[in-house]
Homo-oligomer: A and B are copies of this chain.
Amino acid sequence: MSSDEMIVAPALFPNGERKREVKRVRRSAEEARRLILDAAEERLAAQGPEGIRLQDIARDVGISHPAILHHFESREGLVAALIARTSIQLRDKILSALKSNHGTDDHVNANDIISNVFQALSDKGTARLLSWMLLTGRRTEHSTSGPLVMEIADELHTQRTEGAALGGRPAPDREDTLFIAMLTASAAFGDAIIGRELANDAGLDSAGIARFRAWFAKLLYDHVGDTL
C-alpha cells in the first residue's frame, strides 16, 4: 500500500522495506520455451488468434510476461516460433502417415491416409494457426505449408508410379497427382475451419463425419483406379 517511495535514484533498497522471500522456479531456457509455446498453442486453439496475449499466456504458465519477451524477443517472435513448430509437426505427421502405409494399395489405406491428414489439421487447431498466419500475411521462409505440399505430391507420385509399374499399368499423370494433393490439402484445410459448422448444420454426428471422410477417400481412390 505504501506507494510513496522515492521516485528517482533507484539507489539501494530502502533498508526498512525488504523483499519478500519468494520461491522462484527457474527452468532451462529450452523447457521454458516449450511451456510457453504449449500455452500459446492452447490459447490459440481455444480462443482464436486474439487469445495470444502475453499476460494470459504468462499466467497459464505461471510466470510473468516479461519472461516471455526474454525468451522470444517480442510477441511476433513468439508467434513466429509457434508457426515454425506447428508447421514442422504437421509436416512430420503427414509425411509419416503417407510413408507408413506405403505399399498397401487398397481403398482402406486411402481411407487411413485421408483420415490422418484431416486429423492432423484439426488437432490443436493446426489449420487455424496456419490460416491465421496466411490471413495476417505472415510468412516464414521454410515453415510455410508450401514446400510441404510439393513434398507430399512427390511422395504420392512416387507411390503411384511404383504401383503402376508393378501392376503393368501406364504411369500416372504428374499433374493429376499434384491436383490430388492440392485438393486434399484444400479440403482438409477448409474442413478444419468450417467442418464442424458444416457437420452441425447438416446434422452429422462424429460417425457421419467419419463417413464423409471415407466418402472422400473413396472418391479419390476410384479416380486413381480410373486414371491410373
Contacts and interface: CB of A to CB of B under 8 A. Distances in A.
B191 A146 contact: no
B135 A201 contact: no
B198 A185 contact: yes
A130 B179 CA distance: 25
Contact of A202 (B134, B136, B149, B194): B149
7 contacts: A47-B137, A131-B193, A134-B194, A135-B193, A144-B197, A145-B197, A183-B216
Interface in A184-226: 185-191, 193-195, 197-202, 211-212, 215-216, 219, 222-223, 226
A70 B212 CA distance: 46
A178 interface: yes
Interface in A114-146: 128, 130-132, 134-137, 144-146
The prevalent SS among residues of A at the interface is: helix
Contact of A186 (B50, B144, B194, B201): B194
A216 B197 CA distance: 23
